[in-house]
């Protein structure tokens, strides 16, 4: 009997020993996993800190960019072709006052959409009567022969315009907003310098957009007058002045970015200007700015190398709605390949260029919600099996925030450069009350972006001075402004 009791005690001891060993192994595995997770979080924080340093654009860098951009602009106005601020005269020597009357049309091409707009102006009325239609420009049209592009625009415009035409009124007057770099030779003539924003239509470079437009309308059976050819920023400036007499600058913050302002002709040495003209609208084409002060990342340089215009428009590539999502994607790929996201197993979907749209960047930055991040990343195939942890999702949100904030602060630096050029940034006296008219989806739809632009202006100008600078959204300014310029253009 005692042998059975002894055997029982031996078996019990063995079971307890095995159980202890098993629990010890499990505890060890759990501890190891905890350590790995801790180190992963720590590495992620350290790596993000490095990105924060490069993306934050402190006041010191803002001032450097402002000064370098303003210096390039002054050099360009004096004819220095080594400047990276083109500063193109727009041959618009006066702006609307709000007293204009008549009916006009505006055609607006400059990004992924083409708009046709009817605009009825009435003296003394703040509200204007408008009707418009908008069409997507397909990639096929964006790369088709230039005549096909203009035939497409005319084919969409003619039926819409016929609805509003008075047969007794003569040819319809069109303000044409053409938002590509062009060297203007008059208010209604120019030479296209190059395509941007994904366009590459053969036969376009070197051509006159107004001539192309008139010929396309003639092929569709309609004769038109095009008294104004304007860049979108010049049109936004005109629309801003129509509503706000103190408007001094027009800015685009959307698919691309640019700015325009009125310059004293005495300071423009690079063009033959009409005699008796005191002021001239300048299309800065600030997208082209390239300076040592720009805080670029390896991801910016990679994006530039992969673009169709390598080495050009780096400032715009760091700001525009066309690029922000791609910058975020490239940073996330870097984090993933370092094992800091997705456990180092980067989803194949993330390796597709432009897989992350800028709309996702703004949504996550504005909302800052982990649940939202999980949902949209899953929809895009970037969260396979729900593998991203809460900390990883927060990292994605933070990357969106950092990239969006940098873009906004770089935009503010450009505004400060133009203000410095005009002598209204406080350097030569008090900052006056004035308006900056802004159009574009980034400014309109991305709340955190708007807030960050304002924050940067306050940092440099000071709280009180910044209160005198009104950033006003000029919705449809690029279309309405062109029609308003057509109203004051010579017959």
* Tens digits of residue pLDDT in 56-80: 899 999 999 999 999 999 999 999 9
Give the SS3 label for residue 8. helix
Look at residue 33 in the predicted model and tell me its pLDDT: 36
Q: Side-chain half-sphere of 83: how many Cα atoms within 13 Å? A: 22
- Give the residue extent of every domain in the chain: 1-55, 59-75+289-432+441-473, 86-284+475-488
Dig out the tokens for 137 from the structure.
């420009």
Look at residue 40 in the predicted model and tell me its pLDDT: 56
- Is the predicted pLDDT of residue 6 greater than 50, yes or no? no
Look at residue 232 in the predicted model and tell me its pLDDT: 92
- Is the predicted pLDDT of residue 147 greater than 50, yes or no? yes
Dist. CA 362–CA 289, nearest whole Å = 25
Look at residue 196 in the predicted model and tell me its pLDDT: 86
Look at residue 309 in the predicted model and tell me its pLDDT: 86
What does CATH list as the number for 59-75+289-432+441-473?
3.40.367.20
Tell which residue, 239, 149, 257, has the closest CA to residue 196. 257
CB-based burial, 219-253: b 16+ in 10 Å, e otherwise: eeebebebbbbbbbbbbbbbbbbbbbeebbbbbbb
- Is the predicted pLDDT of residue 399 greater than 90, yes or no? yes
Look at residue 88 in the predicted model and tell me its pLDDT: 92
What HEC string does 389-444 produce? CHHHHHHHHHHHHHHHHHHHHHHHHHHHHHHHHHCCCCCCCCCCCEEEEEECHHHH
Q: Domain 86-284+475-488: which CATH class? A: alpha beta
Look at residue 125 in the predicted model and tell me its pLDDT: 73
Dist. CA 360–CA 332, nearest whole Å = 14
Sorting pLDDT into bands at 50, 70 and 90, what band is 247?
A: very high
Span 79-88, mean pLDDT?
94
- Is the predicted pLDDT of residue 13 greater than 70, yes or no? no
Look at residue 37 in the predicted model and tell me its pLDDT: 42
- Is the predicted pLDDT of residue 472 greater than 70, yes or no? yes
- Is the predicted pLDDT of residue 26 greater than 70, yes or no? no
Q: Tokens 């990239």 identify what position?
A: 403
* Tens digits of residue pLDDT in 261-278: 999 999 998 667 776 788
- Per DSSP, 221 falls in state T
Give the SS3 label for residue 83. coil
- Is the predicted pLDDT of residue 23 greater than 50, yes or no? no
Q: Comparing 59-75+289-432+441-473 with 86-284+475-488, is the CATH topology the same? A: no
* Tens digits of residue pLDDT in 90-125: 999 999 998 999 999 999 997 788 999 999 998 877
Dist. CA 312–CA 330, nearest whole Å = 19
Span 34-57, mean pLDDT?
69
Longest dimension (CA), the chain: 126
CA distances from 184 to 89, 90, 209, 235, 268 (A): 7, 6, 10, 15, 14
Dist. CA 201–CA 144, nearest whole Å = 5
Q: What is the DSSP string of 234-257?
A: HHHHHHHHHH-TTEEEEEEESSSE
Query: Are residues 360 and 376 in contact, defined by beta-carbon separation less than 8 angstroms?
Result: yes
Query: Are residues 273 and 89 in contact, defined by beta-carbon separation less than 8 angstroms?
Result: yes
Look at residue 429 in the predicted model and tell me its pLDDT: 85
* Tens digits of residue pLDDT in 174-190: 999 998 888 898 999 99
Predicted TM-score (pTM) of the model is 0.87
Look at residue 158 in the predicted model and tell me its pLDDT: 96
Dig out the tokens for 173 from the structure.
């007057």
Look at residue 155 in the predicted model and tell me its pLDDT: 97
Would you put residue 368 in left (φ > 0), alpha (ψ -120 to 50) or beta?
left
Look at residue 439 in the predicted model and tell me its pLDDT: 94
Please state, rounded to an integer, the average pLDDT across all residues of the chain.
89
Which residues are the active-site residues?
Answer: 197, 232
Q: Where are the alpha helices (DSSP H) in 78-181?
A: 139-142, 146-162
Sorting pLDDT into bands at 50, 70 and 90, what band is 377?
A: very high
Q: What share of the chain is helix, strand, coil (3-state, %, to 5)?
A: 50, 15, 35
């Amino acid at each position: 009997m005692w042998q059975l009791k002894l055997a029982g005690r031996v078996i019990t001891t063995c079971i307890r020993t095995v159980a202890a060993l098993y629990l010890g192994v499990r505890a060890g595995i759990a501890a190891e996993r905890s350590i790995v997770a801790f180190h992963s979080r720590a590495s992620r924080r350290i790596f993000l800190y490095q990105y924060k340093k490069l993306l934050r654009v402190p006041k010191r860098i803002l001032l450097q960019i402002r000064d370098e951009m303003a210096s390039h602009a002054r050099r360009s106005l004096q004819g220095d072709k080594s400047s990276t601020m083109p500063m193109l005269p727009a041959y618009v020597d006066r702006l609307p006052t709000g007293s204009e009357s008549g009916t006009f049309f505006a055609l607006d091409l400059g990004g992924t959409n083409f708009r046709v707009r009817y605009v009825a102006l009435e003296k003394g009325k703040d509200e204007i009567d408008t009707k418009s239609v908008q069409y997507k420009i397909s990639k096929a049209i964006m790369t088709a022969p230039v005549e096909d592009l203009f035939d497409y625009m005319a084919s969409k415009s003619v039926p819409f315009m016929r609805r509003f035409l008075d047969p007794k009124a003569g040819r319809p007057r069109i303000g044409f907003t053409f938002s590509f770099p062009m060297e203007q030779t008059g208010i209604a003539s120019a030479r296209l310098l190059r395509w941007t924003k994904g366009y590459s239509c053969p036969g376009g470079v070197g051509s006159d957009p107004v001539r192309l437009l008139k010929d396309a309308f003639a092929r569709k059976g309609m004769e038109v007058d095009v008294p104004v050819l304007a860049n979108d920023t010049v049109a936004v400036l005109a629309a801003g002045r129509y509503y706000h007499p103190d408007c001094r600058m027009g800015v685009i913050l959307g698919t691309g970015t640019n700015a325009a302002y009125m310059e004293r002709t005495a300071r423009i040495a690079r063009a033959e200007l009409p005699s008796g003209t005191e002021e001239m609208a300048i299309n800065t084409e600030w997208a082209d700015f390239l300076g040592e002060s720009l805080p670029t990342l390896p991801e910016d340089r990679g994006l530039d190398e992969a673009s169709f215009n390598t080495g050009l428009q780096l400032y715009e590539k760091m700001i525009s709605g066309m690029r922000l999502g791609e910058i975020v994607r490239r940073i996330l790929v870097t984090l993933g390949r370092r094992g800091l996201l997705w456990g180092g197993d980067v989803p194949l979907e993330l390796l597709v260029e432009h897989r992350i749209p800028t709309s996702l960047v703004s949504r996550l930055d504005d909302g800052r919600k982990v649940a939202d991040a999980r949902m949209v990343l899953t929809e895009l195939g970037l969260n396979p099996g729900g593998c991203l942890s809460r900390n990883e999702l927060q990292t994605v949100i933070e990357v969106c925030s950092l990239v969006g904030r940098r873009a906004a602060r770089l935009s503010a630096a450009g505004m400060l450069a133009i203000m410095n050029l005009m002598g209204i940034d406080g350097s030569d006296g008090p900052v006056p009350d004035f308006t900056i008219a802004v159009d574009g989806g980034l400014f309109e739809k991305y709340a955190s972006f708007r807030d960050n632009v304002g924050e940067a202006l306050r940092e440099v100008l000071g709280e009180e001075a910044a209160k005198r600078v009104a950033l006003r959204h000029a919705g449809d300014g690029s279309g309405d402004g062109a029609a308003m310029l057509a109203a004051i253009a010579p017959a």
